[in-house]
Structure 1
Amino acid sequence: MNTMKSIAYLFIALLLTGCFPSNDLEKREILLQGITMGTVAYHIKYVADPKGSVDIDKQSVDMHQGVEAILKQLNQDMSTWIPDSELSKFNSATTLEPVEISEGLRRVVAESIRLGHLSGGKLDVTVGPLVNLWGFGPESRPEKQPTDEEITQAKARVGIDHLTLVENKMSKAIPELYVDLSTIAKGYAVDLVAEYLEQQGFNDYLVEIGGELRAKGFKHTGELWVVAIEKPISEERAVQQYIVPKDNAVATSGDYRKYFEENGQRFSHIIDPHTGKPIDHKLVSATVIHPSSMTADGLSTALMLMGEQKALAFAEQNELAAYLIIKTDDGFIEQSTVKFMQYLK
């Protein structure tokens, strides 16, 4: 899966809150981990109770197989790196006729279109031609930055209004439309795994895939899950802020790890569909807390595209729990919405 979003990882904090301690010391915290979407790591923690006849070790093997099956199917539905995936076939087809799509792809496309309109077109899953042009897609990076003419030509093939979804049928208004769901698919993967855990009877968990996460309930000790937002620096890994998301998802977008430099100029992997160029402002990290990881994933990218002032205004207007980190000549400053304050540790 094309990880167009910056890998702005949320560290699972080692320091945990000391509230609601559990007296049931027999509960165990199970860790499942692996690789998905080509190179994206996932870490899943859930709390199991050994009471009864359940073999927890065997159960964890079955759970891991279930998770792997879910993630494999998601890749086959939405990857732009797999030539025969459902989305790749849609992108390569030149027909303008509606195509019936799977339920998973429908859910993600529907939310992508909704967030695209909500953000005034800033979040645009059809921006793929521009992403590829700047060398952040499946194609290799060009030896030099694109010309204005090349950007104009690519922009002609971009636009969320060219993509239509009616019930479970998707169509495009121009044959060259290219849909890339990487700004929202990792979040959807988190939601799918969380839903699977709950279906299996586990309601205390933390699911993290490529930096996007969703938590519910408590650790095996009865303590709340605590995570940390990373400091937006490329030289080392450090914590900027600890948060307690409670029963919510957390997604962070940033431009400080995935970029290239040419002639002393830095080019971010986050491409503004309106300008056709990498973003160029002082907002370096945007975090959103929301019940849905898919929605948080898309919104965090939308905020990054808007820049510091418009992002904060948008987040307040839409009552989002958002946290922004802005680079200044003297370091970083933090801004957060009123709704975000309740999650600060």
Structure 2
Amino acid sequence: MAGVVLRGDEDLLTGRWIGLVMLAGVLSGCGNGDTLERFDGPTMGSRYSIQYVRHGITAGPKEVRGEVENILAEVDRQFSTYRGDSDIERFNALPADSCAVMPVPVLELIRVGEQLSSQSDGAFDLTVEPLLNLWGFGPQSRTEEVPGADALAQARQRVGYRHLHIDGERLCKDAAVEVDFNSIAAGYAVDRIAARLKALGIDSYLAEVTGELRAAGRKPDDSAWRVALEEPRDDKRVAERVIELDGYGVSTSGDYRKYFEQGGRRYSHTFDARTGAPVLHNLASVTVIHPSALMADGLSTLLLILGPEQGWDYAQEHGIGVFFVLRDNDRFVVRTNDAFERMAGGKNQ
């Protein structure tokens, strides 16, 4: 993830591949004694950033940072696929027909993944890690290339959310599946942080983890938290649209940060579990606004997998606010719905 770049009286903080840019004032105060506090740091192979309005005796940045980093450390211990001692990697190492006691948050996200999988007819799936590794995008990848038919068939035998089930406090599998929470873990972390900020008496904030974010309230000067949606380009960064957030999470998933080209085709890290291959349609990015950052995170991935027609219909059917950017030869075409327009500039009612 890129670092913070000061540009006049604005901070720009950009996600590593999802295309969100946060625009906020520098640390400042107002006549009412409120101040805008800000801190950031590394997490999940990227970065996080917190901005919040401090009212009088509200917790200071040192205390808030400690609370936030405790949450991020816990999420990393439970969900990381890049450390062998995480709860989910211990589960992933087990053979077929195994069970393991898992923390409550792991079981909660398994249920969220099951819901998204069921609603997308299996297109979204938390068990695609063998495919990610095979195609060169996963934590155990060796090279980016189109796999052979035999290797793909073998990997697909280890993919499928129906191979998982929960038995009390245990997560069980009847095949050697491996769970990857990268499509929802950051959004979950943002919601956890937002809940902790509220418990600390903080009602105005912009919380961001690896680009997934959530905002509430307003800044000390009574201006809104503003987020710029990035044009899905891999050569430079251009703001496509600026939105205002109050009470919503927002997530953008795109194909323009992690991909490779072979045989004249572009293969991204976004997989359709039904085919075992990266999506090949012209939907370049999807932004979702939702009261839950967790759901915004998962839904942006789900809709990107489904594509420009099926994804759009899904969003309309479920009342999801979406901002689609489609490739049309050498230009981009934007498509947005009424739900997005309503949430992009107004308060969560």
TM over 0.5: yes
Residue 19 of structure 2 corresponds to which residue in structure 1?
9
How far the C-alpha of 1:167 sits from its partner, in A, is: 4.6
**Can you list the C-alpha shifts for 1:270-313, whole angstroms capped at 9, x where unaligned?**
12111111110100000111111111101000001011000100
Structure possessing the higher relative contact order (Cα contacts under 8 Å, 6 or more residues apart): 1
CA distance in 2 between partners of 1:71 and 1:23 (Å): 31
* Equivalent-residue separation in structure 2 for 1:154 and 1:6 (angstroms): 28
Q: Is the 8 A contact 1:131 1:137 kept in 2?
A: yes
Q: How does 1:317-336 map to 2 (within 5 A)?
A: 317-329=317-329, 331-336=331-336
**Pairing 1:100-119 to 2, within 5 Å after superposition:** 100-119=101-120
Q: Is the 8 A contact 1:25 1:221 kept in 2?
A: no
User: Deviation of residue 145 (structure 1)?
Assistant: 2.1
Query: The residue matched to 2:288 in structure 1 has which SS?
Result: strand
Identity %, equivalent residues: 35
Q: What is the CA distance between 1:14 and its match in structure 2?
A: 4.9
Summarize the Cα distance change of 1:244–1:166 in structure 2 as closer, same or farther, 3 Å threshold.
Answer: farther
| Structure-2 separation of matches of 1:144 and 1:331 | 27
Aligned residue in 1 for 2:316: 316
Matching residue of 1:127: 128
Distance 1:24 1:98, change over 3 A: farther
Distance 1:143 1:40 in 2: 21
Q: Counterparts of 2:260 and 2:89 in 1: how far apart (Å)?
A: 26
Amino acid at match of 2:283: L
Q: Which residue of 2 aligns with 1:284?
A: 284
Q: Partners of 1:143 and 1:181 in 2: how far apart?
A: 21
Name the CA distance, whole Å, in 2 between partners of 1:23 and 1:297.
Answer: 34
Q: 1: CA distance between counterparts of 2:180 and 2:151?
A: 19
Counterpart of 1:265 in structure 2 is: 265
Which residue of 1 is the match for residue 69 of structure 2? 68
Q: What displacement does 1:144 show?
A: 3.7
Query: Residue type of the partner of 2:50?
Result: I
Aligned twin of 1:138: 139
Q: Tell me, in whole angstroms, the C-alpha distance in 2 between the residues paired with 1:9 and 1:326.
A: 14
- Structure 2: tracts of 5 or more residues without a match: 1-14
- Answer whether contact 1:269 1:278 (CA < 8 A) is retained: yes
Equivalent-residue separation in structure 2 for 1:36 and 1:143 (angstroms): 25
Aligned to 1:42: 48
CA-to-aligned-CA distance 1:7-26 (integer Å, 9 cap, x gap): 213111259xxxxxx97542
Determine the structure 2 residue equivalent to 1:185.
Answer: 185
Match for 2:40 among 33, 42, 55?
33
Structure-1 residue corresponding to 2:294: 294
Kept in 1, the 8 Å contact 2:19–2:254? The answer is no
- Corresponding residue SS for 2:115: helix
Higher strand fraction (1 or 2): 2
User: What's the offset of the Cα at 1:99?
Assistant: 2.6
**Aligned partners of 1:14 and 1:129: how far apart in 2?**
40
**How many residues are paired up?**
329
Tell me whether 325-334 or 184-193 shows the greater mean CA deviation. 325-334
Structure 1 segments of 4 or more deviating over 4 A?
none
